[in-house]
């Protein structure tokens, strides 16, 4: 499991099962970014954790689907972080879907460029390797955010 900042960790499904680590780091919220997991790991008590899943897959399903998934997951992450919670964002291995979700969060909610967000996550999660088809989607979030800001300034 990798600490990205004081509230966000990225990890694998195996990390999500490590209750002693979750408790030691005050993690109370788990954001699953993988289709293959339906709910909390069997060893965790549902009353101890808030859990949310976005069924992201690494297969060519199209830009719109990827965009919708990452927007949904990063919005939930933003809500939890804004409320002061400590969050584990995980997928199967913790190298692509979870990483891409946190990159999206930094771009959409913290105003980072794609490169800044990527490097911020890379500092904490060295083994990251986003799925090739995710990269254009993640970069498009920066362009969309910049266009929205320009339009707001004109008004």
Catalytic residue selected from 17, 32, 33, 91: 91
For residue 130, count other CB atoms closer than 10 A to its CB: 19
Q: What is the largest CA-CA distance in the chain?
A: 53
In 3D, which of 71, 79, 89 has the Cα closest to residue 128? 89
Active site residue 91: yes
Reported for 109-118, long-range contacts at CB under 8 A and 24+ positions apart, including other chains, are 109/74, 109/78, 111/145, 113/142, 114/138, 114/139, 114/141, 114/142
- Catalytic center residues: 91
């Amino acid at each position: 499991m990798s600490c990205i900042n004081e509230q966000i960790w990225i990890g694998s499904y195996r990390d999500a099962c490590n209750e002693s680590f979750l408790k030691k780091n005050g993690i109370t919220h788990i954001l699953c970014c993988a289709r293959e997991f339906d709910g909390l790991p069997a060893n965790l008590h549902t009353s101890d954790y808030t859990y949310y899943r976005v069924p992201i897959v690494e297969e060519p399903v199209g830009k719109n689907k990827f965009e919708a998934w990452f927007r949904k997951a990063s919005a939930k992450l933003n809500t939890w972080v804004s409320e002061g919670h400590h969050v584990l964002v995980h997928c199967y291995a913790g190298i692509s879907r979870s990483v891409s979700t946190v990159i999206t969060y930094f771009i959409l909610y913290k105003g980072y460029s794609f490169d800044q967000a990527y490097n911020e996550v890379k500092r904490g999660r060295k083994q990251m390797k986003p799925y090739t088809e995710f990269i254009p989607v993640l970069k498009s979030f920066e362009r969309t955010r910049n266009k929205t800001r320009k339009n707001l300034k004109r008004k």
